[in-house]
Amino acid sequence: MAESARCTTRPVRTVPDVEPVARPTARVLLLDDADRLLLFRSLDDRGAAFWYPVGGRVEAGETVQDAAVRELHEETGLSNVQLGPEVWRRRHVVGWRGVEYDIRERWFIARVDRFDIDTSGFTHAERTEVLEHRWWSPAELANAKERLVPADLAARLTELLTKGPPAEPREVGI
């Protein structure tokens, strides 16, 4: 699911009488052998484009790691990916297609050799909402014109590439 521009890092209810729907989510920073990051592009409710990594909802009965591996397969065609450490966590409330969600993301890193993305496992919603995908170098991320998720993705990825994963997952903003 894509995130809207009006999200915050703390649960903030934008509709006072309606509790947001809790949505545990797994995200994967999928890096190829040239340190390029795979991102998908969608539009928010206002029509603004943004780029975000592989990932989606943790289904009932799944661990967050299982969800991350499943989402990798559905969104890229990759099987048997060795999931790396959890590096970030993020929580925010976002309105998406008329529903308010309390998104609780856990972010992992994974490395793969170059390959051609296979999106045939996309859900109906993903086929409708994902406009494109591409691999981004750290320099391209630093010069991105459209919004990245999280907003400071370029700096955070550069830190991961230079310092390695943190000992404990770090809280990141929107």
9/41 Cα distance (integer angstroms):
21
Q: Which two tokens stand for residue 63?
A: 């661990």
Q: Which two tokens stand for residue 18?
A: 């309606």
pLDDT, tens digit (0-9, with 9 covering 90-100), for 119-155: 999 999 999 999 999 999 999 999 999 999 999 999 9
Percent of the chain with pLDDT over 90: 78
Instruction: Indicate whether this model's pTM tops 0.85.
Output: yes
For the chain, the domains span: 21-166
Residue with tokens 């993705």: 153
Answer yes or no: is pLDDT of 11 > 90. no
pLDDT, tens digit (0-9, with 9 covering 90-100), for 87-108: 999 998 887 777 889 999 999 9
Buried b (16+ CB within 10 A) or exposed e, 25-49: bbbbbbbeeeebbbbbbbebeeeee
Answer yes or no: is pLDDT of 57 > 80. yes
Percent of the chain with pLDDT over 70: 90
Higher-confidence residue: 17 or 31? 31
Per CATH, the homologous superfamily of domain 21-166 is Nucleoside Triphosphate Pyrophosphohydrolase (3.90.79.10)
Question: What is the per-residue DSSP string for 34-48?
Answer: TSPEEEEEEE-TTS-
For residue 1, give every residue at least 6 positions away whose Cβ sits within 8 Å of its Cβ, in sequence order, or none: 23, 25, 56, 57, 96, 101, 103, 125
Residue with tokens 């928010």: 44
Q: What is the mean pLDDT of the chain?
A: 90
- Does an H or E element contain 149, and which? none
pLDDT, tens digit (0-9, with 9 covering 90-100), for 72-92: 999 999 998 999 999 999 998
Q: Which of 105, 82, 92 is nearest to 24 (CA)?
A: 105
For residue 137, give every residue at least 6 positions away whose Cβ sits within 8 Å of its Cβ, in sequence order, or none: 34, 35, 36
pLDDT band for 14, please (50, 70, 90 cuts): low
